[in-house]
Amino acid sequence: MADWMQVDLHIHTALSPCADEEMTPWNIVRMAQLEGLKVIAVTDHNTIANAWAVIEVGKKLGLTVLPGMEVQTREEVHLLGIFPTLEQASAFQEVIWSHLPDKPNHPEIFGEQILYDSSDRPIGTVERLLLQSVLLGVEEVGAAIAAHGGLTIAAHVNRRSYSLISQLAMVPEGLRLDAVEIDRSLSYQRFIEKYGELSCYPILCSSDAHRLTDLVGSYRPWLLLDEASFAALKELLLSDDCSRIRFR
């Protein structure tokens, strides 16, 4: 039966160099459950390598966790790809990895890129710098997400950097978006006043959490979903029924 739920489709783990070490699989899932979230997505910069561990913890504790990625395109636009399965996300990862320049990370400057297992044990680090642009444009990235069965969401569109609006001032004709995400610092009302031309898309707000306290708050909308799953989320976003997304 359909029910009103809150979801968070933009959460970084400690694998993102800019995220805190406390962003471990167990901490993220437990905090999401304390917040009452029914679906979360793990979206590290240009990688899905920690998603499996968070998914495993979600299975143990009863939370739907989707594999995702925050891709930084050639234009320095951040796009979220949210995938139904780890297999599809992994195939998409291969595309991104083959277009990510082989520059090393400098942890002392950018931060550590830590891999965790599903018991919260650090099991290594990623050597290649994750926080950089892939050699693909927004339309190419959007097409690749769709080709791997994913949903494409323009991240924090109202931000002054790394957003579709800051970099391109518009949605390119060849980019199919399933939703746009408002930065949590802006209210839905203010967003619509300022960016009315984007109101034709489903509007979401997620945390873009880099530390656990980012997950706390009432900024997320309520979604009327048939169940806590990727399929139900996709059905809602494709339904064109804005009355099923409510900001309070």
Instruction: Assess 70 for contact with Zn ion (CB under 5 A).
Output: yes
x-marked contacts with Zn ion along 99-138 as a string, rule CB under 5 A: ----------------------------------------
Residue 43 or 232: the one with the smaller Cβ distance to Zn ion is: 43
Residue 114 or 232: the one with the smaller Cβ distance to Zn ion is: 114
Provide the token pair at 142. Answer: 């959007």
> What is the C-alpha separation between 204 and 199, in angstroms, rounded?
11
**Footprint (CB under 5 A) of Zn ion, residues 205-234:** 208
Q: How near is the Cβ of 160 to Zn ion at its closest, in Å?
A: 12
Q: How near is the Cβ of 142 to Zn ion at its closest, in Å?
A: 16
Instruction: Assess 8 for contact with Zn ion (CB under 5 A).
Output: no
**Footprint (CB under 5 A) of Zn ion, residues 189-208:** 208
* Burial status of residue 193 (CB atoms within 10 A of its CB: 0-12, 13-18, 19 or more): exposed
Sequence-distant (6+) residues with CB within 8 A of 92 are 48, 69, 81, 83, 144, 145, 148, 150
Q: Nearest-5° angle of CA 174, CA 166, CA 201? A: 50
Q: How near is the Cβ of 42 to Zn ion at its closest, in Å?
A: 11
Cβ neighbours around 154 below 10 Å, total: 24
What is the β-pairing status of strands 78-82 and 3-5? unpaired
Q: How near is the Cβ of 27 to Zn ion at its closest, in Å?
A: 17
Helix (H) or strand (E) holding 54: helix 51-61
Question: Which member of 78, 184, 220, 244 binds Zn ion (CB under 5 A)?
Answer: 78
Instruction: Assess 20 for contact with Zn ion (CB under 5 A).
Output: no
- Whether 227 and 185 have beta carbons less than 8 Å apart is answered as no
Residues in the site for Zn ion, rule: CB under 5 A? 70, 78, 155, 208
